[in-house]
Amino acid sequence: MTALAWLIPLLPFLAFGLIVFFGRRLPGQGASVAIGALLAAAVFSLLLFFRLLGGAEPIRSTINWLVLGQQPLALGIQVDALTAVMLLVVTVVGSMIFIYSVGYMHGDPRYPRFFAYLSLFAASMLLLVLADNFLFLYVGWELVGLCSYLLIGFWFERPAAARASLKAFITTRVGDVFFFAGILLVFFNLGTLGFGQTFEAVESGHLSGGLLTGIALLLFGGAIGKSAQVPLHVWLPDAMEGPTPVSALIHAATMVAAGVYMVARLFLIFFSSPDHTALAVVAWIGGISAFMAATIAVVQDDIKRVMAYSTISQLGYMMLGLGVLGYTAGVFHLMTHAFFKALLFLGAGSVIHAMHTNDIKQMGGLAKVMPSTYWTMLIGSLALAGIFPFAGFWSKDEILTEAWHNNPPLFYVGLVTSFITAFYVMRMMFYTFLGEPRWAPAHESSGHGQGTVVHPHESPRVMTGPLWFLAFFAAFIGFVGAPFLGSPFGRFVRFGEEAAVPFDLRIAVISTAVALAGMGVAAALYRWRWLSPAAVRRAFQPFSTWAERKYYFDDLYGWTVVRGTVWASRVLRVFDIYVIDGFVNLIGVVFVGLTRLYRVFDLYVVDGLVNLIGWGTKALGGVLRFVQTGRAENYLLVIAIGVILLIIGGLVR
């Protein structure tokens, strides 16, 4: 079993290596390898999951990596309930998206590379999920960030994609710095990177008070970046420049959930901070993100951007859930969201595949052309809106119930967000699938309006198959947390012995009513056209402008960070030119002066000596060369004379 657990991240990694090196020569140009590896990982995950469900002890496997001082740095993996759920989500949703990509990326010149990146991503994400220590977590964390960068910029020929990948990387990096600082603080104070030892230290009160809160907030900084929470959410909408399967896998279902997962994994640290300060911050950041992103989603016309803001909003929801002590609720929503948001993204990808545009205002009436896409997306939308009995209903209801009990103001924030969510998702559905077509069918010579000439068509089986599979989950996965079935999910994934807040029928009814109201308003505006959307938009001034300008976050960063950097670089340039260069030049001048001095010395003293020796040798050689007659008999004569002299010398003495 332990070996199985190790194999889960290893398989996709091997697939990555294989595809990188052998790419096109592999079956299906590498796609089959990637899908096979991930499906095998999914099977292993299922085995582990059922083992845990059967009441087995969580798996732990560590190796001593290196010894620092007295304490060995133990690294390893663990599979407990939370990990098992995450493993399933990543492998199952991932497999579906891999399969879908076969159709979506068909004919792309870098097709094998795409699957290589996807496999690397899956491996990193699984490592992140399996980690039982901060180091593996951080390694996985950075690796998924790298894959995100690579995949957002997969079509790097497009300047927008290249810019978006950079933006995503740099923005999340800001959060990662906090995250890393948090990890260092833990290591500095405890000398260990293991979660287990850290939790022991927290429980024994060794780590407590302001320090604990500080660590929690620093770690949460990483989650803000990775999970695109306010104020570091700006990268996620731009990340939609990547291929749609990437958006579905990384920027909806898995990687962005890593922040939420991390908070859940380290929930004890957050939970133990005095007065739940850290959790309150988590909850409020989540609430603000949820609300703000939902309002922005309302005014987006790009189908993928609607989804992107929706993702930010839903991630905020999860944070909110965790922050109001709803550990189970947050993780539950993470899981359901992974399924229905992946479904929605893949559906959107299917639409884009057919229409070659992202603009929902140039769509309309697609329901008849692409029924599979329509029906599956409808299921996804209902799940997102939180309508009974779809998946989103159960998890959202749980979060709201927790909020009602632990933090009433956030309950209202959640409720309003729920309304807006239902509204914008239905708006998108109406614009895309219903109403009159705003595109020109190919057989008409000139389209009416600004419609473009396209041939919309249903996507191939390999794409609709995963859609239906995910739609099934989006519809029914919520029942694993259904109260009337005894909330099996809550019993499986829970924090300590904390009893889940009981199901409250009133809240369920209220939240459903609010969601239905949101859908109704959307229908009134975009289906029945009782009111002109433009008039409504005007009526909500200045809020609608704020939403359109995305609450000025991008402008703010443009003014402060970007301009600040540019300004600072200008200042530094001046500093460089006058101070650094000046200093360097000064040194240069001084040395040039010194060198001149040395030159004189060299010329007249050193060279003079050398030349003197040279001349002396030459003159002496000129004289002595006449001794060398080159005739042996002369030399012999001299030798003989020498011998005579020696003998005479000997005789005289």
Partner 1 sequence: MGELAAFIILAIVTLLPAVVVVTSRNLVRAAMSLIPSFLGVTGLFVLLQAEFVAGIQILIYAGAIAVLILFVIMLTQGGTGTALRQVNEQQLVGGLVAGALTIALLGLLLRTPWPLVAGTLPRSNVAAVGGAFLTNFILAFEISSLVLLVSLVGALVIARREQ
Partner 2 sequence: MQVGLNHYLAVSALLFGLGLYGILTRRNAVAILMGIELMLNAANINLVAFNRYVAPGALAGHVFALIIITLAACEAAVGLALVLAVYRNLETIHVDEINVMKW
CB 376 within 8 A of CB 347: yes
**Binding residues for partner 2, total number by CB under 8 A:** 10
Q: Which listed residue (630, 651, 652, 653) binds partner 2 by CB under 8 A?
A: 630
Taking only Cα atoms into account, the Rg of the chain, rounded to an integer number of angstroms, comes to: 35
Residue 436 partner contact from partner 1, partner 2, none using kind-dependent CB cut-offs of 5 to 8 Å: none
Q: Using CB atoms within 10 A of its CB, is residue 35 exposed (0-12), middle (13-18) or buried (19+)?
A: buried
Buried b (16+ CB within 10 A) or exposed e, 579-616: eeeeeeeeeeeeeeeeeeeeeeeeeeeeeeeeeeeeee
| Selected range binding partner 1 among 166-174, 512-520, 593-601, 645-653, rule: CB under 8 A | 645-653
Residue 618 sits in the site that holds partner 2 (CB under 8 A): no
Separation of alpha carbons 316 and 334, rounded Å? 11
| Selected range binding partner 1 among 73-81, 324-332, 361-369, 637-645, rule: CB under 8 A | 637-645
Residue 586 partner contact from partner 1, partner 2, none using kind-dependent CB cut-offs of 5 to 8 Å: none
Strand partners, 441: 454
Residue type, 70: Q
For the CB of residue 640, give the shortest distance to partner 2 in the complex, in Å: 6
Residue 157 partner contact from partner 1, partner 2, none using kind-dependent CB cut-offs of 5 to 8 Å: none
Residue 626 sits in the site that holds partner 1 (CB under 8 A): no
Residue 157 sits in the site that holds partner 2 (CB under 8 A): no
Q: Which listed residue (536, 571, 574, 644) binds partner 1 by CB under 8 A?
A: 644
For the CB of residue 615, give the shortest distance to partner 2 in the complex, in Å: 19
Separation of alpha carbons 416 and 513, rounded Å? 12
Residue whose entry in the numeric block shows the structure tokens 């990188």: 20
CB 128 within 8 A of CB 43: no
CB 402 within 8 A of CB 501: yes
Secondary structure in 3-state letters for 384-447? HHCCCCCHHHHHHHHHHHHHHHHCHHHHHHHHHHHHHHHHHHHHHHHHHHCCCCCCEECCCCCC
Q: Which listed residue (389, 524, 634, 635) binds partner 1 by CB under 8 A?
A: 634
Q: Which listed residue (631, 649, 651, 653) binds partner 2 by CB under 8 A?
A: 631
First to last CA, the chain: 105
Residue 617 sits in the site that holds partner 2 (CB under 8 A): no
Query: How many CA atoms lie less than 13 Å away from 99 in the CB half-sphere?
Result: 21
Residue 632 partner contact from partner 1, partner 2, none using kind-dependent CB cut-offs of 5 to 8 Å: partner 2
Residue 580 sits in the site that holds partner 1 (CB under 8 A): no
Residue 647 sits in the site that holds partner 1 (CB under 8 A): yes
Residue 650 partner contact from partner 1, partner 2, none using kind-dependent CB cut-offs of 5 to 8 Å: partner 1
Q: Which listed residue (3, 632, 651, 652) binds partner 2 by CB under 8 A?
A: 632
Q: What are phi and psi of 526, to 5 degrees?
A: -105, -15
Bridge pairing between strands 440-441 and 71-79: unpaired
Residue 652 sits in the site that holds partner 1 (CB under 8 A): no
Q: Quick one: 531 or 644, whose CB is closer to partner 1?
A: 644
Residue 635 sits in the site that holds partner 1 (CB under 8 A): no
Residue 603 sits in the site that holds partner 1 (CB under 8 A): no
| Selected range binding partner 2 among 64-72, 112-120, 228-236, 622-630, rule: CB under 8 A | 622-630
Q: Quick one: 1 or 641, whose CB is closer to partner 1?
A: 641
> Which residues would be at the binding site for partner 2 (CB under 8 A)?
625, 628-633, 636-637, 640
